[in-house]
C-alpha cells in the first residue's frame, strides 16, 4: 500500500514543479492565505452610534479572567488566561481603555512555563493578575500554573521581555494578585482552602493575605484569612476566587468573584480600614451578575464575573470582567470573553457595575475615547495571514510548548510549514498544530494547503478544536486509491469518520473552508479555479461548546499535521 502512495507523491511533486507552486518536502504540509471573517448579525443589527461608542466585548472570543492596570501616565495594560496554550498570557495596551492592541505575551519562553507538557487543555496558567508598583516603577504579573504552583514575573517595560518566574512557595491555592499600598508595603491576596483544610461543603473556599517584600521578592509574616466562604456565609456561597484589593478614599476594598464559572457567576465587594481586615461585605452584593435574569431575553450575556477595576487619568472608574454570549440562548463556543463597564458608586461608598435587572450592555460609550478601526478586533472584522513574517502573529497559539520542532515560517518563505508529527490532538503532548480563537458565532474561515501524503499515516488540514476529546478534523490523507479528504468528529468515545471523499483533482493545492452559523458547521474544499465541493453540512456546533465539553477555554480554528 505504501508503494502506491509513494508513486502518488512522485506524480504530484512532478506536477508541482511544472506549475511552479510551493513544493512541500516529504512529511510536511504547507499552509498559505489563511482568512478568518466574522459575520454575526448582532453587529449588523446594532450599529455603533458615534466615534465614542464601542462594542462589548472589547476582546471577543476566549479571553478569560481579565486583569488591568495603569501606570498613572495614561497607559493601560490588560492580560488574560491561556491555560495550556503557548505562548502564555497575552498582554494588550491601550491609551483610552477602549481601543486595545496586543503587544506581546508575558510568558513567551519555555523557562517561564514549567510543567505544561502533559497537562489537560484547561490546566496550566490560571487567572493572571497585572499590577504596577509606583514605588519601584515595576510591573508585576502573578498567576497560577496548576502543574507548578503560584509565581510572578516582573518588568520595567511591559512592551519588552518579562523576567524569569519567581515562585511563591508559601502562597497556596490559586488566583493570587498583588496590592501595593501608599506607604510602600505590598501584599498578595488569593483563593485558598477552607480553614484547617476542613471544607463544610463543595466549593467552600477562603480569601487569604500575606505581606510581600518587593526588595527581596519574598513573602513575609503569617498568612491570614480575610474572607471565609463568601459575602453571605449563611448561604454557603461557592468558589470565592480571583481577589483584587484597592485603596480608594482612605478605605481598603477587597473584590472577588463568587458562584463558580457558570451561570451563577458574580462579583462581590468588601470594605475595611486595613489591608489585614476586618472586611465587611456590602449589603447589596453582588456588584456584578446576570444570573437572576430571564434566560429567554434577547442577546443574553451570561456568567458575568471575575472583574478588575482601574481608574483613568480623568478620575472615572471602569471594570473589566469576563462573561459569555450563548448563541440563541442555547450554548456558546467562544469561551469567556473580556467585557468592560463603567463603575458606579453607591451613596454609602461602594463600587458596583450592576444592580437589580441592570444588563451588561452590548455597547459602551466613553467620551474621552475615539474609536480607531485600524486593525479592528471587534465587530465583524476580517483577518488574513499570508505567513510572510518569520514569526507567528500574536493571534496564533501552539499547545503546551513552542512546537518549533514541528513548524517553520522560513523553510518555505511565504508559507507555514507543518511537519507531520507522531503526536495527535487527542494526546497531551505538543502536536504539529497552530490555532487561533473563534471570535464570532457566525464566521467563515479558509486556508490554502499544499500537501502530498507520503503514506497512509500522514494527514494534514483544518481543525476546530475545543479540547482533547471535542474536535472536528478536516484533513487530506492518502491510500492505495490516491488522495482523499476526511471529515472526522472526535468525542469522548473515540473518533468517528463522518465523510471520506476521494480527490479527483491531481493539483496539490487545495483550499479548505469551514462555515458557521453559530449552531452548525459546514466543511467544503476546492481546487484552483474550481467550484466549492461540500464534504459535510449541518454538523452540530454544540459538540465544541463548554456546555457539552466543560473546561475553561473557548474553541480554536487550527492548522494541523500528523502521522499518528
The residue annotated as part of the active site, out of 241, 337, 455, 515, is: 241
555 close to 539: Cβ distance less than 8 angstroms: no
Cα angle for residues 528, 517, 385 (degrees, 5° grid): 45
Q: Quickly list DSSP for 99-158.
A: S-EEEEEEE-SGGGSTT-TT--TT-SEEEEEEEEETTTTEEEEEEEETTTEEEEEEES-T
Q: Verify whether residue 234 is a known catalytic residue.
A: no
The residue annotated as part of the active site, out of 32, 40, 65, 515, is: 65
Q: Verify whether residue 65 is a known catalytic residue.
A: yes
E strands within 4-115? 28-38, 53-55, 67-70, 76-79, 85-86, 88-94, 101-107
Long-range contacts of 97-102 (CB under 8 A, 24+ apart): 97/310, 97/312, 97/318, 97/340, 97/366, 97/369, 98/54, 98/58, 98/340, 98/364, 98/366, 98/369, 98/371, 99/54, 99/369, 99/371, 99/372, 100/58, 100/59, 100/377, 101/375, 102/394, 102/395
The set of cell numbers assigned to 424 is: 495527535
| Integer CA distances (angstroms), 561 to 125, 129, 423, in order | 26, 35, 9
- H helix or E strand, kind and range, residue 483: strand 482-491
Q: Active-site residues: which are they?
A: 65, 241
Amino acid at each position: 500500500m505504501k508503494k502506491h502512495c509513494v508513486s502518488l507523491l512522485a506524480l504530484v511533486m512532478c506536477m508541482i514543479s511544472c506549475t511552479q507552486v510551493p513544493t512541500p518536502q516529504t512529511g510536511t504540509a504547507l499552509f498559505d492565505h489563511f482568512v478568518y471573517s466574522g459575520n454575526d448579525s448582532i453587529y449588523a443589527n446594532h450599529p455603533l452610534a458615534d466615534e465614542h461608542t464601542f462594542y462589548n466585548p472589547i476582546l471577543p472570543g476566549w479571553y478569560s479572567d481579565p486583569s488591568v492596570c495603569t501606570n498613572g501616565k495614561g497607559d493601560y495594560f490588560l492580560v488574560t488566561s491561556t491555560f495550556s496554550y503557548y505562548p502564555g498570557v497575552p498582554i494588550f495596551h491601550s491609551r483610552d481603555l477602549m481601543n486595545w492592541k496586543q503587544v506581546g505575551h508575558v510568558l513567551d519562553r519555555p523557562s517561564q512555563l514549567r510543567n505544561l507538557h502533559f497537562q489537560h487543555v484547561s490546566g496550566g496558567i490560571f487567572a493572571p493578575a497585572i499590577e504596577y508598583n509606583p514605588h519601584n516603577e515595576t510591573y508585576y504579573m502573578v498567576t497560577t500554573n496548576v502543574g507548578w504552583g503560584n509565581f510572578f514575573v516582573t518588568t520595567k517595560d511591559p512592551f519588552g521581555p518579562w523576567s524569569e518566574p519567581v515562585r511563591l512557595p508559601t502562597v497556596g491555592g490559586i488566583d493570587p494578585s498583588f496590592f501595593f499600598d501608599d506607604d510602600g508595603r505590598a501584599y498578595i491576596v488569593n483563593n485558598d482552602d477552607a480553614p484547617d483544610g476542613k471544607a463544610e461543603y463543595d466549593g467552600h473556599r477562603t480569601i487569604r493575605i500575606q505581606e510581600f517584600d518587593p526588595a527581596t521578592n519574598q513573602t513575609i509574616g503569617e498568612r491570614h484569612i480575610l474572607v471565609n466562604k463568601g459575602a453571605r456565609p449563611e448561604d454557603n456561597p461557592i468558589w470565592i476566587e480571583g481577589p483584587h484589593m484597592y485603596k480608594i478614599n482612605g478605605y481598603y476594598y477587597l473584590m472577588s468573584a463568587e458562584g463558580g464559572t457558570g451561570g451563577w457567576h458574580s462579583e462581590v465587594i468588601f470594605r475595611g480600614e486595613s489591608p489585614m481586615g476586618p472586611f465587611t461585605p456590602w449589603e447589596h452584593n453582588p456588584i456584578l451578575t446576570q444570573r437572576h435574569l430571564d434566560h429567554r431575553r434577547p442577546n443574553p450575556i451570561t456568567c458575568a464575573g471575575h472583574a478588575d477595576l482601574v481608574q483613568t487619568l480623568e478620575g472615572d472608574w471602569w471594570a473589566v470582567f469576563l462573561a459569555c454570549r450563548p448563541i440563541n440562548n442555547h450554548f456558546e463556543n467562544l469561551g469567556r470573553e473580556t467585557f468592560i463597564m463603567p463603575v458606579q458608586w453607591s451613596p454609602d461608598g461602594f463600587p458596583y457595575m450592576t444592580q437589580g435587572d441592570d444588563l451588561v450592555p452590548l455597547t459602551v460609550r466613553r467620551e474621552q475615547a475615539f474609536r480607531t478601526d485600524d486593525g479592528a478586533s471587534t465587530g465583524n472584522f476580517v483577518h488574513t495571514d499570508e505567513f510572510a513574517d518569520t514569526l507567528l502573529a500574536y493571534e496564533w497559539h501552539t499547545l503546551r510548548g513552542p512546537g518549533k520542532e514541528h513548524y517553520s515560517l522560513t523553510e518555505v518563505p511565504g508559507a507555514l510549514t507543518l511537519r507531520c508529527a507522531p503526536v495527535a490532538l487527542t494526546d497531551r503532548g505538543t502536536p504539529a498544530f497552530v490555532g487561533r480563537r473563534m471570535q464570532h458565532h457566525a464566521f467563515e474561515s479558509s486556508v490554502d494547503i499544499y500537501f502530498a501524503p507520503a503514506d497512509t499515516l500522514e494527514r494534514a488540514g483544518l481543525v476546530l478544536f475545543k479540547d482533547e476529546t471535542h474536535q472536528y478534523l478536516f484533513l487530506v490523507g492518502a491510500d492505495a486509491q490516491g488522495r482523499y479528504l476526511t471529515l472526522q468528529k472526535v468525542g469522548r468515545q473515540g473518533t468517528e469518520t463522518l465523510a471520506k471523499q476521494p480527490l479527483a483533482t491531481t493539483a496539490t493545492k487545495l483550499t479548505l473552508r469551514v462555515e458557521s452559523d453559530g449552531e452548525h458547521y459546514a466543511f467544503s474544499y476546492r481546487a484552483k479555479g474550481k467550484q466549492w465541493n461540500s464534504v459535510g453540512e449541518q454538523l452540530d456546533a454544540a459538540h465544541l461548546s463548554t456546555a457539552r465539553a466543560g473546561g475553561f477555554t473557548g474553541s480554536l480554528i487550527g492548522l494541523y499535521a500528523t502521522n499518528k
